[in-house]
Amino acid sequence: MPQAPTPKTKCVFLDRDGVLNKELGDYLVNLDDLIIPEGVPEALRLLKSAGFLLIVITNQAGIAKGLYGADLVFAIHEEMQKASDGSLDDLYFSPDHEKFTGRSLSRKPDSLMIEKAMAKYKIDPAQSWMVGDRDRDMEAGRKAGLKTIQIVSGEVSSIGDFTAGNLFDAANIIVETAL
């Protein structure tokens, strides 16, 4: 008797700076400067309770530029885990920058980081989302076949399938759409 196929997993891929933590305008080079906006831990818990994997997908060109090391990226991730009761399932980051390390397919707007996570966790793109604050996040999500939500403030234009003012609003869109 043939076995039924294993159902694929649904996931929300999350950009870091500008989504999970306050965008400082340049690079977050000191753990003491990390600001997790109000509503982020609640949004992550809401998405988790709705059955989504939560995977961070972030460009970290400051590593290529010598501004900080991978240890800081992991330390920031650990602080986010503490703030959200361990809601984040994985972290993928690109330490590359085309002017310092050459072109990399892992760096957004390319989608290699997302594709690797999709293969590892057997993620169904039709049930999954990319949430980011930049056009390159939306482009990477689209290349991987995801629905997209762009976090925008004010009258900024968006190329996302949806827009939201913050991660909590985005989480509500995702949960309502998934019903």
Helix/strand/coil (H, E, C) string of 128-146? CEEEECCHHHHHHHHHCCC
Q: How much is the pLDDT for 3?
A: 63
Q: How much is the pLDDT for 32?
A: 93
Task: Check if 17 is active-site.
Answer: yes
Task: Check if 96 is active-site.
Answer: no
User: Of residues 17, 96, 110, 133, which has the active-site annotation?
Assistant: 17
Q: How much is the pLDDT for 106?
A: 84
Supply the pTM of this predicted model.
Answer: 0.93
User: Of residues 15, 110, 133, 137, which has the active-site annotation?
Assistant: 15
Q: What is the pLDDT along the chain (179 residues), one digit of tens a residue?
A: 566 556 679 999 999 999 999 988 788 998 999 999 999 999 999 999 999 999 999 999 999 999 999 999 999 999 999 999 999 999 999 998 777 777 788 899 999 999 999 999 999 999 999 999 999 999 999 999 999 999 998 767 889 999 999 999 999 999 999 86
Reference 84, options 16, 175, 30; nearest CA is 16
Reference 153, options 22, 2, 8; nearest CA is 22
CATH of domain 11-178: 3.40.50.1000
